[in-house]
Amino acid sequence: MKFSDYKISQEIKTQLDFLGYRRPTDIQFKVIKPILDGEDIMAISPTGSGKTAAFVIPTISVIQKAKKNNNMISCLVMVPTRELAKQIESVYIEIGKDTNVKVFGLYGGVDQINQINNLNEGIDVLVTTPGRMFDLISQNIINISKIKFLILDEADLMLDFGFLKDINDVMNFIPRKRQTLFFSATISKKIKSLAYNVVKNPIRIQISPKNKIAKTITHSFVKVKMDDKRFFLENIIREYPQKKIIVFVRTQIRSKRVLQALKRVKIDSECLHGSIEQEERFLILNRFRIGENKVLITTDLSARGIDIPDVEYVINYDIPDAPDNYVHRCGRTGRGTRRGHAISFCSEIEQELFESIVSYIGEDIEEYKVNKDDYFGIIDSSEYGGEDWRKLLKKYNQESGNNLEW
Ligand code: AMP
């Protein structure tokens, strides 16, 4: 099946061709036609599967065909994070470039005035996080009482973020008669019960990759002491200065520490975490996207679902607490047909956690074995200078002929 075979508008077909989308991905193949036929959808499909375009293509096409002169919100896309709102807005804009469908990404953390001006000009598709939307509904700036499509994207993350009440509340503002498209990367009892509250006789689709980790990603781990992780990170970054690298850490504080550690050895990097102002977060992501900054240090939640091309390395500087976060982290690399690498730094206290990841993904993760000489070599080659106590100990051992252990 090719996109040219679908009953979608010529403007969309031309733009898909321009974007290099020749054939639908699995999820697109399964949902585009039912959506065009007016069906509700409940789809379990991982990020990176082309799921955004799977709902963007048919909804733009339907809206474009039905559109009269006035702009009235006819499609509401609810997402858990501001980054996702912006990302999905840009996919709508890109695919709908030559159509008259107007889309707007709405989220908190930025000034309302410009948003209100944009909304007042009239829009067809609203992509939004819940907080700011409810705020503007209460100010009578947004009216979603006539929507035809409700799309819940990354529903599992919506639940993780505590948006269940918001999803239920939104039902009070939208028509009962509508088409609901429900997307989640994972399935659980909670997800199912949420889905069945909002969809009616849906077409159920599950795209489960044979392997939890895409075949395009090689993944390995290295045993390293907690205090030495910074040397190993420095070593990898220096080895691949031209590559884009995402470094995952457990907490915001850890991300700042790693940033400082890299700064001390004159490696440029940036942190992305929830306490950074929204505008700045977008700028940070954009600098990474265009390659102006090549090393992004981030936490699980801040980076979830983001689609940045050409990330070649994911470094699990800290082993993730939940095994499915390992899958989400690795999914930031090896996207589409590109290759990627995930390397985990596993300290002694993280080994149990790491084993639970290995059993969760159901395949072995290769150990990158570093012998003692290489291990010291990595520390020795660091720009940290001679003040490190391990270096001093090694120097002492060499000079004294002793072999004190660390
Ligand atoms: P998503 O799962 O929506 O985050 O999409 C993952 C990536 O796949 C994005 O970078 C899209 O641009 C790309 N993509 C989506 N659909 C297609 C397609 N039919 N052909 C080629 N690339 C696609």
- In tens digits, the chain (406 residues) has pLDDT values of 899 999 999 999 999 999 999 899 999 999 999 999 999 999 998 777 889 999 999 999 999 999 876 778 999 999 999 989 999 999 999 999 999 999 999 999 889 999 999 999 999 999 999 999 999 999 999 999 999 999 999 998 898 889 999 999 999 999 999 999 999 988 888 889 999 989 999 999 988 766 777 778 899 999 999 999 999 999 999 999 999 999 999 999 999 999 999 999 999 999 999 899 988 999 999 999 999 999 999 998 777 777 888 899 999 999 999 888 898 899 888 876 678 999 999 999 999 999 999 999 888 899 999 998 899 889 888 877 545 666 666 767 777 777 766 5
Q: Is 48 in the pocket of ligand 1 (CB under 6 A)?
A: yes
> What pLDDT is stored for residue 72 in this prediction?
87
Mutate to test the pocket of ligand 1, among 3, 25, 84 (most ligand atoms within 8 A of CB): 25
**Do the Cβ atoms of 48 and 335 come closer than 8 Å?**
yes
Phi-psi region of 310 (alpha: psi -120 to 50; beta: other; left: phi over 0): left
| Nearest ligand 1 atom to alpha carbon 91 | 12
Q: Is 183 in the pocket of ligand 1 (CB under 6 A)?
A: no
Measuring from atom 13 of ligand 1, which residue has the nearest CA? 50
Inter-CA distances, 161 with 58, 113, 128, 368, 402, Å: 28, 26, 15, 35, 55
Residue 402 and residue 157: Cα distance in Å, rounded? 55
Neighbouring-strand partners of residue 316: 248, 344
* Contacts (Cβ under 8 Å, ≥6 apart) of 381: 235
Mutate to test the pocket of ligand 1, among 4, 59, 307 (most ligand atoms within 8 A of CB): 307
Q: Which residues of 115-126 are buried (b: 16+ CB within 10 A; e: fewer)?
A: beeebeeebbbb
Nearest to 186 by CA among 302, 88, 300, 305: 305
* Contacts (Cβ under 8 Å, ≥6 apart) of 162: none
> What pLDDT is stored for residue 203 in this prediction?
94
Look up the pTM and report it.
0.79
**Do the Cβ atoms of 351 and 365 come closer than 8 Å?**
no
Residue 394 and residue 406: Cα distance in Å, rounded? 9
**Do the Cβ atoms of 287 and 293 come closer than 8 Å?**
yes
Q: Is 92 in the pocket of ligand 1 (CB under 6 A)?
A: no
Inter-CA distances, 14 with 52, 66, 91, 384, Å: 18, 20, 15, 54
Helix (H) or strand (E) holding 203: strand 203-206
> What pLDDT is stored for residue 38 in this prediction?
97
E-assigned strand segments in 86-177: 103-106, 125-128, 149-152
Nearest to 381 by CA among 239, 223, 224: 239
CA of 174 to the centre of ligand 1 (A): 30
Domains and CATH numbers, the chain: 3-206 (3.40.50.300), 217-370 (3.40.50.300)
Tell me the three state secondary structure of residue 210: coil
**∠198-201-206 over CA atoms, to 5°?**
85
E-assigned strand segments in 8-83: 41-44, 75-78
E-assigned strand segments in 259-331: 270-272, 295-298, 311-316
Q: How many residues does the chain have?
A: 406
**Do the Cβ atoms of 82 and 62 come closer than 8 Å?**
no
Tell me the three state secondary structure of residue 307: coil
Q: Which residues of 299-327 are buried (b: 16+ CB within 10 A; e: fewer)?
A: bbbbbbbbbbeebbbbbbbbbbeebbbbb
Measuring from atom 8 of ligand 1, which residue has the nearest CA? 50
Measuring from atom 10 of ligand 1, which residue has the nearest CA? 307
CA of 309 to the centre of ligand 1 (A): 10
CA of 223 to the centre of ligand 1 (A): 35
**Do the Cβ atoms of 128 and 73 come closer than 8 Å?**
no
> What pLDDT is stored for residue 22 in this prediction?
87
CB atoms within 10 A of CB 406: 10
* Contacts (Cβ under 8 Å, ≥6 apart) of 157: 80, 81, 185, 304, 305
Residue 178 and residue 75: Cα distance in Å, rounded? 10
